[in-house]
Chain A
Amino acid sequence: MNILQTASHRLLAAIANLLAEKGIASAQEVAHRIALTDAASPAQGARMVARAWLDPDYRALMLSDGTKAAEAEGIPMRGLPPLGVLEDTADVHHLVVCTLCSCYPRAVLGYPPFWFKSAAYRARAVRDPRGLLAEWGTVIPDTMRLRVVDSTADYRWMVLPQRPARTDGWDADRLAAIVREGDMIGVTFPAG
């Protein structure tokens, strides 16, 4: 039998059975993890960002321990890679890429956008990041330094963007509603 020609659902069933037989993961545990993965969405990360914009203590927690900050928002992080949070300021902008594969802060943002795994994004993010961002309409001012964070190993990274002007007095829900997926990996700025 050629494993490359075997129907994928049969391979999946075989692996699931082996995991269960060897006591590594039961069918229930696998189903639970799939449900958590499917439930994750950028709305979770956006809640964290909005709270950090309003609450200095939460902001400090988020920057020092992203995993704890996510858990404080009720996001399940057990057994997942540690979350690091990159703070944008008036002087520094961050962009997240995984040049080796597709590491992405799925626990807090859900599935990555399709282009995040593309060879073009991965290559250009490290070689010509300002040119790449300009194609999104994200023009990084000359006065701002750009830090491209390549997720090569054990951490997953998200960006805490700057709070837009003209949002004074907004509550957490209203702030969270303007934070998009791209804002939290640095390809766009929150619109405000």
Chain B
Amino acid sequence: MLSPGTHVRVRFDWPETRGPCHIRTPHFIRGAEGVVERHLGRFPNAEDLAFARPAALLDLYHVRFDQPAIWGEGRAGDALVIELAETWLEPT
């Protein structure tokens, strides 16, 4: 499990280009670097649930991103906080 403060990168991956899928990771955050704020629990993988497939439990994290860094505009210090499953996160 990732502990609070861990620096992570969201996988730069586009499963929608490979066929039908259901994804809970927004486009705008893929490839971005953020910091784990806290572990939110373990939840069945929504990408499988959507197709009624057996869904493994995945660790879900609240991850904080620097908002101006994502868009190239905005006020320093503002943040985006997003729920992301462990399968989308890699250590930096």
With both chains docked as a complex, state the minimum distance between the C-beta of B18 and any C-beta of chain A, in angstroms: 19
- A155/B83 in contact, CB under 8 A: yes
Residues A142 and B75 in contact in the complex (CB < 8 Å), given A100-B24, A126-B28, A153-B24:
yes
Number of B interface residues in the complex (CB < 8 A): 25
For A149, give its contact among B26, B71, B81 (CB under 8 Å).
B81
A116 to B28, CA, bound (A): 19
B32-80 contacts to A (CB < 8 Å): 40-41, 43, 46, 60, 64, 67, 70-71, 73-75, 77-80
A99 to B70, CA, bound (A): 15
Q: Does B82 contact A (CB under 8 A)?
A: yes
Q: Does A112 contact B (CB under 8 A)?
A: no
Q: Which residues of A contact B84 (CB under 8 A)?
A: 152-153
Residues A148 and B24 in contact in the complex (CB < 8 Å), given A130-B75, A154-B41:
no
- B85/A153 in contact, CB under 8 A: yes
For B80, give its contact among A82, A128, A150, A153 (CB under 8 Å).
A150
B7-40 contacts to A (CB < 8 Å): 24-26, 28, 40
Most buried by A among B43, B67, B70: B67
Q: Which residues of B contact A82 (CB under 8 A)?
A: 40-41
In this complex, what residue of B is CB-closest to A147?
B79
Q: Which residues of B contact A172 (CB under 8 A)?
A: none
- A153/B78 in contact, CB under 8 A: no
In this complex, what residue of A is CB-closest to B77?
A145
Q: Which residues of B contact A148 (CB under 8 A)?
A: 67, 78-81
- Which residues of A pack against B, CB within 8 Å? 82, 84, 99-100, 126-130, 142, 145-155
**Known pairs A148-B67, A149-B81, A154-B41 / 7 extra A-B pairs, C-beta < 8 Å:** A84-B40, A100-B26, A130-B78, A148-B78, A150-B26, A151-B83, A152-B82
What 10 pairs between A and B have smallest CB-CB spacing? Answer: A153-B83, A154-B43, A146-B78, A145-B77, A150-B82, A149-B81, A147-B79, A152-B83, A153-B24, A152-B24
27 contacts between A and B (CB under 8 A): A82-B40, A126-B28, A126-B80, A127-B74, A129-B67, A129-B74, A130-B75, A146-B78, A146-B79, A147-B78, A148-B67, A148-B79, A148-B81, A149-B81, A149-B82, A150-B81, A150-B83, A151-B83, A152-B24, A152-B25, A152-B82, A153-B43, A153-B46, A153-B85, A154-B43, A155-B60, A155-B83
